[in-house]
């Protein structure tokens, strides 16, 4: 990980994150899960909001991420809960610059908790 900007850090080469692949990185004070879906990199808080289990230990099938502990499921393109629907993941800003994946040090949206509805997705 290369820290060269006050707001974001370089975490890996884009070529190291294959289609349908997920990897976890420590970014500042957060564990961030990167997922490559259809050529787009998504960055989510890397722990399940249910009981803080590392999501990288779960399974990714298509666009559905399932936590290994209690089988909570999330849509990795939106961060919205599938089971339970009232859950959502904390999103981090992410971009690819010169073949390198860069992740923001602070989440785009607030706490990843069970809520009545997830807020709309913010585009970086």
73-112 residue pLDDT tens: 999 999 999 999 999 999 999 999 999 999 999 998 655 5
Q: Is the pLDDT of residue 6 over 90?
A: no
Confidence at 5, pLDDT banded by 50, 70, 90: low
Quote the pLDDT of residue 9.
Answer: 96
Interval 48-54 mean pLDDT: 93
Higher pLDDT residue, 30 or 5? 30
Quote the pLDDT of residue 108.
Answer: 87
Higher pLDDT residue, 33 or 114? 33
Report whether 63 contacts 41 (CB < 8 A).
Answer: no
Q: Is the pLDDT of residue 57 over 90?
A: yes
Mean pLDDT, the chain, rounded, equals 87
pTM score of the predicted model = 0.84
CA angle 47, 53, 59 (to 5 degrees): 85
H or E segment at 8? strand 8-13
């Amino acid at each position: 990980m290369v820290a060269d900007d006050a707001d974001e850090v370089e975490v890996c080469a884009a070529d190291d994150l294959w289609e349908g692949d997920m990897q976890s990185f420590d970014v500042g004070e957060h564990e961030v899960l990167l997922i490559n879906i259809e050529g787009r990199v998504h960055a989510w808080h890397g722990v399940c909001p249910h009981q803080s289990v590392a999501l990288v230990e779960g399974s990714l099938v298509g666009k559905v991420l399932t936590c290994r502990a209690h089988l909570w499921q999330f849509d990795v393109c939106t961060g919205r809960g599938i089971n339970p629907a009232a859950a959502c993941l904390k999103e981090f800003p992410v971009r690819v610059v010169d073949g390198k994946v860069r992740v923001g040090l602070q989440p785009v949206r607030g706490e990843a908790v069970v809520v009545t509805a997830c807020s709309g997705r913010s585009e970086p």
